[in-house]
Structure 1
Amino acid sequence: MDSNTIFNIHDEASFETVTFQTFQHQFENNQTYRSFCDLLYIHPSDITKIEDIPFLPIQFFKSHEIVSNKHSIQETFTSSGTTGSTTSKHHVTDISIYEKSYRKGFEYFYGNIENYVVLALLPNYLERKGSSLVYMANDLIKRSKQSESGFYLHDLKELTTKLIQLDQQGKKVLLIGVSFALLDLIETTQFQLKNTIIMETGGMKGRRKEMIRTELHQQLCEGFGVAEIHSEYGMTELLSQGYSKGNGIFKTPPWMKLFTRDPEDALTIQPNQKSGGINVIDLANINSCAFIATQDLGKIHHNGTFEILGRFDHSDIRGCNLMVY
């Protein structure tokens, strides 16, 4: 399939057409996904609507090689995981598709990256190899073409000075950071930012106690002196991201769509407004698997926006663990 088709999707009809093509391609070329479909006795001829397509449990990225072609692997992204745990591996055979996805996705929601100074506060991600978030942030920093853009590991003092200086100069700043590091930053300084977007990527990574989103965002709003906290919804197993510009309400680019499944019956897709397990169609995953049942709990609204409400526990996705481990 031509990846340009994915990024030219402009309406529901074109999304469905490309989705059916992608399912057919992955059914025929992804050995793990084909085996999963076979165990469910589902064949492309059985599929009449996109909700009927099987969603592969995300744990398969820990236990199987999820690829849909025979091309050489250009990049392998890995999840952070806890010490001693099995990490997910997303093998990418065409890195240009990932680059196109996050570049077009960012532009779709925020405009030209060259309009921003990009500051990245991602200490735990920078301290390991294989982070898709660091890959994206590094590329956005370079493409911003702003000399002040860059990563900050532990030098919060330098970041504070830079942030205040840039904001006072009236420059548009995007500060993208992991939750615990953003909290560390506001404990050192009380900011009053007027031209800066604060974007959290989630995760305390064992550095702080977990917090519900409203509590986290309230603290960050007060600490940075801003009205809203933006968020990015992404993961190792996806090559696209959803974005929230406030209140935890996310939107997806046109080549990405979310559903919720029944928590008690993993193969049943629920109507909108009901909370359940998040299933993702990410058509940028053309060379791995575009249909993923995540371990996130959420709700889809009638206009296609969504909220993330939490995560399932370690019991895995009930009724859908036919091949895992």
Structure 2
Amino acid sequence: MHPLEERIRTFYGSDFEALALEVFHYQYEHVGAYGEYCDYSGRTNPNTLEEIPFLPIRFFKSHEIISSELKAEVVFKSSGTGGERSSHLIGSTDLYCNTFRKIYRNQMGDPKDQVILALLPNYLEQGESSLVYMVDHLIQDTQSDLSGFFLNEYDALIDRYQKAVASGKKVVIFGVSYALLDLAERHPDLSEATIIETGGMKGRRKEMTKAELHQELKLGLNCDHISSEYGMTELLSQGYSQKDGLFVPGSTMKILIREVNDPFHFLPNGKTGGINIIDLANLYSCSFIETQDLGKLHENGFEIMGRFDHSDLRGCNLLVQ
């Protein structure tokens, strides 16, 4: 295990910048495509987070982004709704598991106290999904026979939910947006569940804003609020939103907002721009990613506002305001 990995595994937010700069130097030396991009940008010795070059996310479609020191243990692929699928070569699945478990427990609770139900039909059908990988491990962590995946078996999911509530367990339901809307049309009473939508209509339904989606789900599922998960194939860290709709990034994740027409100029809180993500858990690929999502920073989290024109219909990102 690389010494940086050990530090990332136990990292809880102290001096993020110093660790990120060390990760930069490691990736500049060992991740070929990223090193070449840094050379091209002329930024090879940053002293602050803002001086680090952020790799455009489209590079995950055209290049193998992985450290020369190891081989991929698994390859995750995006849903590819808009065409070509991105590929994320994972150098350490154990680091991924450590990361998503720590973030989930911190923000959503201990899986051992929960029953987790997953309504992610398109990801299951397509395969090679980082989201399915994560949720599958969280389901195993519940150690409950009631937890599990469902394709389009809405009645079976409702029945399982009712049994879980009767057992006294907290119920968490992960669901892709269009499948949750299909479920909501049945008007089940899921008032005891925490609903986590993961975004994405996958071309199955018309796109709508986050607010519109959550309003329909609250009415159809009889829930006070809807939570969301922000993640993507190219990331190993996640953010979750609760009642206020603001995403809170995990401790290994930091959001910067760039000026749309100047990728090296960053905006203050409250201003809308392109989302750049630092994901320390991406140690063996690229931790510095320029996404095609639009958003803004707030004191207590970040908000997703939409996406750039002509970008893909991203797997875990819903079209929003």
| TM value normalised by structure 1 | 0.92
Report how far residue 171 of structure 1 moved: 2.1
Q: Whole-Å Cα distance in 1 between the matches of residues 311 and 10 of structure 2?
A: 39
In structure 1, the residue matched to 2:307 is 311
Q: Whole-Å Cα distance in 1 between the matches of residues 304 and 223 of structure 2?
A: 22
Distance 1:169 1:315, change over 3 A: closer
Kindly indicate whether the alpha-carbon contact (under 8 Å) linking 1:167 and 1:193 is maintained by their aligned counterparts in 2.
Answer: no
Percent identity between matched residues is 47
Tell whether 2:61 aligns with 1:62: yes
Report how far residue 254 of structure 1 moved: 1.3
The superposition leaves residues 96-126 of structure 1 with CA deviations (integer Å, 9 ceiling, x where unpaired) of: 1111111111011123110110000000000
Amino acid corresponding to residue 306 of structure 1 in structure 2: F
In structure 1, the residue matched to 2:161 is 163
In structure 1, the residue matched to 2:71 is 72
Distance 1:315 1:190, change over 3 A: closer
In structure 2, the residue matched to 1:23 is 24
The superposition leaves residues 167-219 of structure 1 with CA deviations (integer Å, 9 ceiling, x where unpaired) of: 3544200000000001101111341522x100000000011001100110011
Q: Whole-Å Cα distance in 1 between the matches of residues 180 and 60 of structure 2?
A: 29
Secondary structure of the residue aligned to 1:188 is coil
Aligned length: 310
Tell whether 2:106 aligns with 1:108: yes
- The worse-fitting range, judged by mean Cα deviation, of 169-178 and 136-145 is 169-178
The superposition leaves residues 39-60 of structure 1 with CA deviations (integer Å, 9 ceiling, x where unpaired) of: 111121xx22111101000000
Unaligned runs of 5+ in 2: 313-321
Q: Considering only aligned residues, what root-mean-square deviation do their CA atoms show, in Å?
A: 1.5
Unaligned runs of 5+ in 1: 317-325
Secondary structure of the residue aligned to 2:203 is coil
The superposition leaves residues 284-307 of structure 1 with CA deviations (integer Å, 9 ceiling, x where unpaired) of: 00000000000000001133x000
| TM value normalised by structure 2 | 0.93
Q: Whole-Å Cα distance in 2 between the matches of residues 202 and 272 of structure 1?
A: 24
Kindly indicate whether the alpha-carbon contact (under 8 Å) linking 1:160 and 1:189 is maintained by their aligned counterparts in 2.
Answer: no
Amino acid corresponding to residue 4 of structure 1 in structure 2: E
Q: Whole-Å Cα distance in 2 between the matches of residues 51 and 66 of structure 1?
A: 22
In structure 1, the residue matched to 2:265 is 268
Q: Whole-Å Cα distance in 2 between the matches of residues 186 and 33 of structure 1?
A: 43
Q: Whole-Å Cα distance in 1 between the matches of residues 180 and 133 of structure 2?
A: 20
Amino acid corresponding to residue 121 of structure 1 in structure 2: L
**Superposed counterparts of 1:1-325, under 5 Å:** 1-2=2-3, 3-13=5-15, 15-44=16-45, 47-82=46-81, 85-194=83-192, 196-303=193-300, 305-314=301-310
Q: Whole-Å Cα distance in 1 between the matches of residues 289 and 210 of structure 2?
A: 24
The superposition leaves residues 214-272 of structure 1 with CA deviations (integer Å, 9 ceiling, x where unpaired) of: 11001111112111100000000000100001232000111110011001112211122
- The worse-fitting range, judged by mean Cα deviation, of 156-165 and 111-120 is 156-165
Q: Tell me which stretches of 4 or more aligned residues in structure 1 moved more than 6 Å.
A: none
